[in-house]
Structure 1
Amino acid sequence: MKNARHPRYARHRFPAEVISYAIWLYFRFPLSLRMVEEMLAARGIEVSRETVRQWALKFGQGYANQIRRRLPAPGDKWHLDEVVISIAGRKHWLWRAVDQHGVVLDILVQSRRNAKAAKRLLRKLLKRQGAAPRVMITDKLASYAAAKREIMPGVEHRQQRGLNNRAENSHPPTRRRERMMKRFKSAGQAQRFLSVHDQVGNLFRRPANTNAADYRKSRVQAFTTWAEVTWAEVTGLAAGF
């Protein structure tokens, strides 16, 4: 049995099962911190929403990094897209890359929508993934072509209309969270939150064209991986205490 008092939870009043459950609720579903607080209270766990927020800040990125290491290798097609988000009354751009299976590879919040911003995204992707894709699919924004010529000149680039639905379909969960959080407060907050949110979504994503039995198996495996990542008992999360 795993030790609930793993060193990463030292000096915390609550065990790993409670902390990981709260973080799972917050990043997996479009819930406010107050809602997570109430859901925990319904299970007899008295904890403030500020504590949940601090748990998310302290443990969220570490969980996301571990999830990334455990996921299968990404596909060889990268779909890139950018969407506007409003932060403190200013327009920013959320750049996101997904593979052909819908797995989010990475995100980058930037204040510009130009070739320099596209280059930053491609460099980050190459550093994170370790290799270039076979095909890169984008919309018709000219910044992508300029960045690709410099960063990944040997990669095939497709910009036909309608090919990039995979990336465009990855934005609605972000929009839901943006509404629930009444917009992001800063670019740094958006970057930190979405970096974790997308990786948790990757872990619990339902694979396409699967029947109910296969989906249940993949969900059990996702809970098992989550327990390994968080050093929590898998039965505690699955049963909801």
Structure 2
Amino acid sequence: MLDVKGMRFPLEIILVCVRWYAAYPLSCRHLEEMMEERAVTVDHSTVSRWVVRFLPLLEKIFRKYKRPVGGSWRMDETYIKVKGVWKYLYRAVDRDGKTIDFLLTAKRDKGAAKRFFDKAMQASDIPEKITMDKNGANKAAIDEINANREISMMVRQVKYLNNIVEQDHRAVKRITKPMLGFKSFQSAKNILTGIELMHMIRKGQMMMEGADKMSFAEQFYALAE
């Protein structure tokens, strides 16, 4: 159960606001108005604090129930604006479109790519092959990882084969668009974690008992129990 000790609002209201924010293209001001219509007076800044605090905790719980992914990865990065400056969201999906992992970074270079691959490979099995575009930094990161392995991962740098992950970016961008950029790197990281969480639940990646009979919303609320 999430700890809401000392908070003025019950967990049920907090979770509704957090879920709506990360699941749909809404701003915190939208949610303030929507809750007012339901006789709940909550300031948009309070909703923002809930989002930043609770989404990473819920995603961490979700990791325990995340379905295994396939061994053929599609990897790419997309742009996210933070304080008016473009940052980079590294993402990978398997050939069925299931999310493997994600990482927000300040730079787009070999070091950032390697941090992403290390994170993804720690959470999932080592892939047999990875498809990416012709970004040299991404290839250099994989080459460094392969140099320390007895069996190398196959690397394919064919842009059209990466359409799956490029299309998958759109689900994230659709939610971030009304946010008009993020005010800090940490808040961006926390909120994107929640958006990715919602996207994974929608894609049926939660393996909790009885999840197949739960709605999208019920699966999310089950994580807080």
- TM over 0.5, shorter chain: yes
Assess, with a 3 A threshold, how the Cα gap between structure 1 residues 72 and 18 changes in structure 2: closer, same or farther: same
The answer for the alignment partner of 1:132 in structure 2 is: 126
Question: Following superposition of structure 1 onto structure 2, how do residues 1-241 of structure 1 map, counting pairs within 5 Å?
Answer: 8-129=3-124, 131-153=125-147, 154-205=152-203, 218=212, 220-231=214-225
The amino acid across from 1:226 in the alignment is F
1:7 deviates by 6.4
Higher mean C-alpha deviation, range 138-147 or range 172-181: 172-181
In the alignment, structure 1 segments of 5+ residues that lack a partner are: 1-5, 208-216, 232-241
- Aligned letter for 2:140? A
TM-score, normalised relative to structure 1: 0.80
- Aligned partners of 1:112, 1:10: CA distance in 2, in Å? 38
Moved more, 95-104 or 117-126: 95-104
Q: CA RMSD in A?
A: 2.2
CA contact (8 A) 1:83 1:93 kept: yes
Distance 2:137 2:25 in 1: 32
**Identity, % of aligned positions:** 28
Equivalent residue letter for 1:166 = I
Letter in structure 2 aligned against 1:192? N
Secondary structure, in 3 states, of the residue corresponding to 2:75? strand
What is the DSSP-based 3-state SS (H/G/I as helix, E as strand, rest coil) of the residue aligned with 1:109?
Answer: strand
Question: Per-residue displacement from partner, 1:107-164 (whole Å, max 9, x unpaired)?
Answer: 22223222222111111112222x2112211111122221111114511111123100
Structure-2 separation of matches of 1:43 and 1:37: 10
Rounded to whole Å, the distance in 2 between the matches of 1:141 and 1:219 is 42
Q: TM-score, normalised by structure 2?
A: 0.86
Report the AA paired with residue 111 of structure 2.
K
For the Cα contact (< 8 Å) 1:81–1:138, is it kept in 2?
Answer: yes
The residue type equivalent to 1:157 in the other structure is: V
Distance 1:25 1:61 in 2: 15
Q: What SS does structure 1 have at the residue aligned with 2:58?
A: helix
Q: Structure 1 residue runs of 4+, over 4 Å off?
A: none
The answer to whether the 8 A contact 2:79-2:89 is kept is yes
Q: Mark the CA change 1:16 to 1:120 in structure 2 (over 3 Å): closer, same or farther.
A: same
CA distance in 1, matches of 2:118, 2:2: 34
- Conserved 8 A contact 1:87-1:184: yes
| Cα 1:7/1:204, change in 2 over 3 Å | closer
Select between 19-28 and 139-148 the one with higher mean Cα deviation.
139-148
Question: Is the 1:78–1:98 Cα contact (8 Å) retained in structure 2?
Answer: yes
* CA distances 1:84-103 after superposition (whole Å, capped 9, x unpaired): 33333333222111222322
Distance of aligned partners of 1:13 and 1:89 in 2 relative to their CA distance in 1, 3 Å threshold: closer
Q: In the TM superposition, what is the alpha-carbon distance from 1:222 to its structure 2 partner?
A: 3.5
The aligned counterpart of 2:208 is none
**Unaligned residue ranges in structure 2 (runs of 5+):** 206-210
